[in-house]
Amino acid sequence: MLALRLLWRNWRSGEVKLLAAALLLAVAVVSGIAIFTDRLQHTLVQESNALLGADKVVRGSHPHDPVWEEEAARAGLRHTTATHFASMIYAGEHMHLASVKAVGEGYPLRGQLETSTTAFATRPDQIDIAAGIPAPGEAWADSRLLPLLHLQLGDRVAVGEYELRITRVLIREPDSGNPFSFMGARLLMNEADLPLTQVVQPGSRVQYQWLLAGDTAAVDNFAAMLETRFDAHQQLVDIGSNQRGLGRTLNTGQRFLLLAAVIGVLLAGVALALAARQFANRHVDQVALLKSLGTGSGRIRRLYFTQLMVLALVASLAGLLVGELLQRTVAAALLQAYQIRLDGPTLYPYLISLASGIICLLFFALPALWFLPYVPPMKILRRELAVNGLQLWLQVALAFLAVLILVLLFSQDLPLALSVIGALTGVFAITGLLAFGLLRLSQRLAGGAGSVWRLAVANLQRRREQTLVQIVVFATAIMLLLSLTIIRTSLLDDWQAQLPEDAPNHFLVNIPPHEVDAIQKLIETRHYQHQPLYPMVRGRLTHINGVELSATSVAREGVFNREANLTWTDTLADDNQVVDGAWWPEWQSQHGLPGVSVEAEMAEQAGLKPGDWLTFSLGGLSLEAEIASLRTLDWRSMRPNFFFIFAPGTLDDYSPTYITSLHLPAADKVFINDLLRTYPAILVIELDRIIGQIRTIVNQVSNGVQLVLWLTLAGGCLVLLAAVTSSIEARKQEIGLLRALGSPRRLMLGSVWLEFSMLGLLAGIIAVLGAEILLAGLQYWVLETPIKPHVLYWFAGPLLSAGLIGVLGVLSCRSAVNTPPAIVLREAG
């Protein structure tokens, strides 16, 4: 086939290599990121689901419909049940209000149960992963239940009307953060024994869970179908609704990766457009010749289109291979460094990568080549004939359209796509204007300078249009690279700052008021970092401005649908910030009610504002309060945080317990055991594993970010190279001519170096300015991090840019300067 033969010849002569490299890079960047992110996401969801014990859970105050089980089995899903309730359990004369969980076969569907024969076991060799659940007639008990009830393994406890034998100590279990677990020490039993206890009666407070796990899509579909059949007492729970901090870190990380992928593709796209332009210019003569030989426009279009598509296919497949190898390398590094095994990818990222290759080709390369079939055949005789290419603005508009499509393809997030496009448009306009102004300034400054300077500036001026295009391209590339480097650094710093080494990793809950002083003293003598002890009362929001909550649109949303922890304090924690209303004592009530400060996001969800009045039910008692302020807070801080904070004294009559968080070094884990032996009423929530998990995620995402940064840097260098080489042909001829006229080699190299360095410097200055604008936009709208200037880069950016582009220029022109002028002229001619 002629097109393939022509492609092979073009390849051999090096004319399509830059084009292929740009395309390969675009696909490699996209596929590397897309496949990695896909695997990361699946792995994280699996890991997170282990905390829940399932992929999704149907929670309700009555059991699920048994008919659903058959349907779940038909959909290929695994399922089991867990029933939570609080019950007074007895061992001899001792009793305790325990948090009982009766589970069905197969529990948990995700994650595992860790048990031991030793209470408070911490050493790995003492802990076993349970192969199943307690056998009928047996139960596994929380460590603290043993001292509480003076029990040994093998002893019996009475749950209602039935006695169970304690056979193991339960060390860790999924779903330990369930509000029902806050009530007392855990007792895990087999569901088959539940009727025998006769504890669960009509009207008992019981939470029924139906757990589901399986293929992600199947679970999602099934859950979506189920939700339509729920009654008012049932809800669907997944990890997204439970783990807010984790979700946010992951989300920011993924947004960064996505942004980097888009920047990478954009850079590769610019390189592609430049390479295509160069290719098209070189092929004007070839097309004119083909036309003189009798080839029609249609055939020329087909010939070039076929060449381009074959090239795109081969380069995209090669890019996919490179991307696959890259993400495998990172995954292997993760496995080695953190023992994290990523799940296999789905087909979607591969398809999306190939699609991006095609989109890049159609929108970046094709417009530059569009005019080729329209080259007039007379061009072969009259070389001065003008050829009308596609208007530059149209090419830029098409490129912008491509960026929009790509961002939407990846994120399905229109605001993100529009903010990238908006920032780029602004930056392009400013870059163009500034480049023009700076060019004029350099001309004025060079007036009194030496010959090397004058020659360099004269060259810049003479090729003003080309120079402007080059400055815009250099500036855009450097701007994007700078932005990405800065975002990456600040993102990693931000994550590190959120989870410092001494971040609280244990919550102490349920501290009775009379033990507060003793516990505070104990923590202080151990010198552990800790938060204040907050009083806490559990209560449910029942009315908003006198309207019953069940009549509002948010009745079934998150926190509105369950009991919340209420507290009071006079000092605001430093990660809390009042955004509306006033904090006490400045606050004045309008209705003569006690004040409450409400978390801002929740307030927004329910349309709450200062001055609204809320009614709470606290253990059957009703409390009315007026909203004094709205508050933002940092859920990632691992400190006790509250949706509702009351004015001091408001909850004094509601018998509070206390809560605090502290940082326990890994080596001091045994402190928990000492604490619980002395104060068995306290519930300890161990967050060290979740924090470890968040660190793991941060590490995973950071690794991805690092990889992506290198890929985009490669893209940036390719753009610079493409932009430098695009002017080399014309430059070679000039250099040959000037050398023939006796210009010394040093003058030539000096002027080339100066010319490119000046270009680099101008581009660098503009790039820094553009990067600050872009960063401000991205930080404000996309990453939601504070906007701040990056002074170091104001100096480093232009200098690095001048150095890099100066060197690239000299390297590209060196052969022309070193080769005898006659040969240079002959080759260029």
Q: Which residues are near another protein by CB under 8 A?
A: 2, 5, 9-10, 12-15, 285-286, 289-298, 376-378, 380-382, 826-827
What gap in Å lies between CA 730 and CA 430, rounded to an integer? 28
Choice between 287 and 452, CB closer to another protein: 287
600-604 LR contacts (CB < 8 Å, sep 24+): 600/630, 600/631, 600/632, 601/632, 602/558, 602/559, 602/643, 603/627, 603/630
To another protein, the closest distance from the beta carbon of 800 in angstroms equals 36
Least gap, CB of 811 to another protein (angstroms): 22
Q: Outline where DSSP puts E strands in 571-714.
A: 577-581, 595-599, 613-618, 621-632, 644-646, 657-662, 683-686
Rounded CA gap, 58 and 68, in Å?
11
Query: What's the min distance (Å) between Cβ of 2 and another protein?
Result: 5
Q: If DSSP codes are grouped into helix, strand and coil, which group holds residue 597?
A: strand
Name the residue among 704, 708, 701 with its Cα closest to residue 268.
708
Separation in Å, CA 197 to CA 140, 160, 223: 16, 5, 32
Instruction: Supply the minimum distance, in Å, between the C-beta of residue 1 and another protein.
Output: 10
Nearer to another protein, 15 or 155 (CB): 15
Amino acid at 327: Q
Pair of tokens at residue 399? 């490129």
SS (H, E, C) 23-61: HHHHHHHHHHHHHHHHHHHHHHHHHHHHHHCCCEEEEEC
| Closest separation in Å from C-beta 451 to another protein | 33
Nearest to 84 by CA among 70, 97, 102, 106: 102
Based on CB atoms, which residue is closest to another protein, 303 or 511? 303
Q: Which is nearer to another protein, 300 or 402 (CB)?
A: 300
Rounded to a whole number of angstroms, the minimum distance from the CB of residue 746 to another protein is 28
Q: Considering the complex, state which of residue 279 and residue 753 has its C-beta at the smaller distance from another protein.
A: 279
Residue 826 C-beta: closest distance to another protein, Å? 8
How far apart are the C-alpha atoms of 359 and 350, rounded to whole Å? 14
Q: Tell me how far, at minimum, the Cβ of 369 lies from another protein, in Å.
A: 17
Amino acid in position 273? A
CB of 6: closest distance to another protein in angstroms? 9
SS3 of residue 135 by DSSP = coil
In terms of Cα–Cα distance, which of 627, 261, 288, 263 is closest to 480?
263
Query: Which residue, 10 or 234, has its beta carbon nearer to another protein?
Result: 10
Which pair of structure tokens corresponds to residue 360? 């890049």
Pick 2 or 449: Cβ nearer another protein? 2
Q: Which is nearer to another protein, 605 or 733 (CB)?
A: 733
Return the amino acid letter for 802.
Answer: A
Task: Select from 553, 600, 509 the least CA-distant residue to 179.
Answer: 509
Between 13 and 588, name the residue whose CB sits nearer to another protein.
Answer: 13
Residues 260, 484 contacting (CB under 8 angstroms): yes
Residue 160 is encoded by which pair of tokens?
């209602």
Could you tell me how far CA 727 lies from the centroid of its own chain? 40
Q: Among residues 299 and 669, whose Cβ is nearest to another protein?
A: 299
Q: Tokens 């359209």 belong to which residue?
A: 401
Q: Which is nearer to another protein, 276 or 623 (CB)?
A: 276
- Closest separation between CB of residue 819 and another protein, Å? 13
Q: Which is nearer to another protein, 224 or 822 (CB)?
A: 822
Sign of CA dihedral 566, 570, 571, 577: positive
Helices within 571-687 (DSSP H only): 600-606, 670-678
Q: How far is the CB of 348 from another protein (least distance, A)?
A: 40
Torsion, Cα of 623, 624, 630, 631 (10° steps): -10
Dist. CA 381–CA 10, nearest whole Å: 23
Phi/psi region, residue 81 (left: phi>0; alpha: psi -120 to 50; beta: rest), is beta
- Closest separation in Å from C-beta 327 to another protein: 36
**Cα–Cα distance measured from residue 694 to residue 249, given in angstroms and rounded to the nearest whole number:** 8
**Could you tell me the smallest distance in angstroms from the CB atom of residue 306 to another protein?**
14
Considering the complex, state which of residue 299 and residue 454 has its C-beta at the smaller distance from another protein: 299
Neighbours of 179 (CB within 10 A): 14
